[in-house]
């Protein structure tokens, strides 16, 4: 049985190297891209880690939501 997961990719550079290095007083997470330094506040979500194949990672990149096109 396989499990379907969603991953967060940096919208600035496409990197998968995204983490939450800390939280702010409002309870929102700070989300940070190690590749390009993109740094934003994230409300209402968090991250989890899982090992996936390169093919699965590429599929996630190919189906990533973009402005004007949603992913479900
Ligand atoms: Zn980035």
Q: How far is the CA of 14 from the centre of ligand 1 (A)?
A: 6
H-only helix segments in the chain: 54-62
Q: Whole-prediction pTM value?
A: 0.82
Joined together, the tokens standing for residue 43 give 């409300």
Q: How far is the CA of 12 from the centre of ligand 1 (A)?
A: 5
The pLDDT profile of the chain, 72 residues, written as one tens digit per residue, is 688 889 999 999 999 999 999 999 999 999 999 999 999 999 999 999 999 999 999 999 999 888 887 776
Could you state, in order of their start, the residue ranges of all structural domains in the chain?
Answer: 1-72
Residue 12's nearest CA partner among 59, 48, 66 is: 66
Q: Are residues 64 and 71 in contact, defined by beta-carbon separation less than 8 angstroms?
A: yes
HSE-CB of 32 using CA atoms within 13 angstroms: 8
Q: How far is the CA of 13 from the centre of ligand 1 (A)?
A: 4
What is the side-by-side strand order in the sheet with 39-42? Answer: 18-23, 29-33, 39-42
């Amino acid at each position: 049985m396989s499990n379907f997961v969603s991953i967060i990719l940096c919208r600035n550079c496409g990197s998968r190297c995204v983490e939450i290095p800390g939280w702010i007083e409002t309870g929102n997470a700070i989300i940070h891209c190690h590749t390009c330094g993109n740094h934003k506040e994230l409300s209402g979500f968090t991250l989890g880690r899982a090992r996936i194949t390169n093919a699965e990672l590429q599929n996630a990149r190919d189906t990533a939501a973009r402005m004007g096109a949603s992913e479900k």
